Structure 1
C-alpha cells in the first residue's frame, strides 16, 4: 500500500529508485542552467538563452517542462532586473552589462520532473545586486538544511526566513521576501501540493518523511515584498521597480540528510 503518498498528513514521498530517477532529470536541468550562464553575455537575447537550454534538455532525451505549461512559450523563465519570476524569453530583450538575471528551468526525463533556478550578473554588477543574489542563495540553503525527517512544512519556511534575516544582519540592509510566491511539491508533475511559503511560524503543516521531495525557492528583492503581473499574464515584477533574485533546488529528505536532486556540474 502507498497510503502515505496520498495522505495530506505527510509531504509526498518517493522510493530510493524514484529519487534516483528525479536526480537524473535534475542533472539535465543543472547542465542546462550552466550552459545558459556560459552563453549569457552582453548583446545576447533571452530568446537565444532559451534555445541553449532547450538544446541541452532535448539532447539528453528529456523534454522542457516549462514549454507549453499552461501556454508558457519558453523552455526557461528569464527574469531580468526587476522581474521576479516567469519572465518570457524574447528576441527583443538583449542582455546588457550590469543586468541581474534569474533563470528558472525545468525538465522531464522518464516522466520525472526536475526544477531549479539561480541568479547571476552580466558583466560588472553592483555590490548590492551581488549581495542580493547571495542572500537569496543563503536563504535557500537554510531551507535545504531544514529538510529533515519529522520536521513540519513550515519549519522549512521558518528556516528560509531566518536565513534571510541572517543575511540582512551580515549585509547591513533589509531585503523584501516576495509575498505570495514560494516552493512546492514535485514529482511526476511539476507543481504538486503542498505550497511552501518562504516565511512563517514553524511547526505547522504536513510532516516530512524519508523520501519527501520539495522545490525550495526563495525570492528576495532590494525593496518591496509586493509584485504585479505584466500584461503578458506571466511576468512578475517588483511593485517598486527594485531588483529581485530567485534561487531554487529540488530537494529530498533522506536518512543521510537533505539530497539536492538538481545538482549542477562544476
Structure 2
C-alpha cells in the first residue's frame, strides 16, 4: 500500500499535470470504487464542468480540490493515477476516467479494486469519514516533539502498531515505521510508556527525516507503485532494514531479522534495537 511519501509524490505530480484542467465528463466502469455519492451517475454528473484547482493530501488520502467540490481518493493496495491523451489505448483495470476539455484524460487504474473515492462539498470533507479521525501530519510544523509525546507516550500499546494507527500519526505504513524505529534504536515491541524521553526525541527526528528523504526520492517502489507519470520511486535503494532479512546491518554487521508484530512483518537489527530485560520478543525468523 502506498504510504505518505508515495502519496505525496503522486500529489505533487498530479498537481503539475491536472491543476487548471476542466472536466468535460466522467466515466465509471467499476461502481464500487465510488463511495459517496453511491450512484456513479450522480458522481459523474456532479463533476461535469468542474475545474481542478489543486491536488492536496491528508495522510494517505489525495484531496482533489475543485470549484465547490473535493474528491477524496485512497489508492489502497495498487491504485494509481495517470494522465493520457484521449487517443491513447486504455489499459485493463482502468475503472474511472476524468475526460478533460483539452483532449487529455486522468485515468484511475486499480488491479486489486480496493481503492475508494468520496465526493464532498468544499470544506466538509475534513469533518466527515474517512478523514475526520485522522491524526497528526508528520511533515507539518504542528508535529512537534511535545505534541508527539503528548499523543502517544502514556499508551501501553506496542510502539509499532501504535505508529501504524492512522488516528495518532498519519501516513506511516510498514516500510517507514520499520525504518524509523531502526534509526531511533527502538525495538518495535516496546510499549509506548516504556520509551524514555531521549528515545522519543530520537524517534521524532527519525520519523521526520525518514519521510522527508523518502519524499525527495519519490517514494519506494517495492511492488507496483509509480507516480502520475509512470515513474518509479527510488527510496527502496536507501532502506536500511525493511526487506533486508538475512543481510548484514549497515551499522553493526549483525544479520537483519524478521518477525511479526501486530500482524505485520517486521524487520529489525536486534543488536541496534535491543529489547529491555524482562520483555520477551516475538519469534524471530531467518527463513
| TM-score > 0.5 by shorter chain | no
TM-score using structure 1 length? 0.32
Flag the structure with more relative contact order, 1 or 2, with Cα contacts below 8 A and sequence separation at least 6.
1
Q: Larger Rg: 1 or 2?
A: 2
TM-score using structure 2 length? 0.30
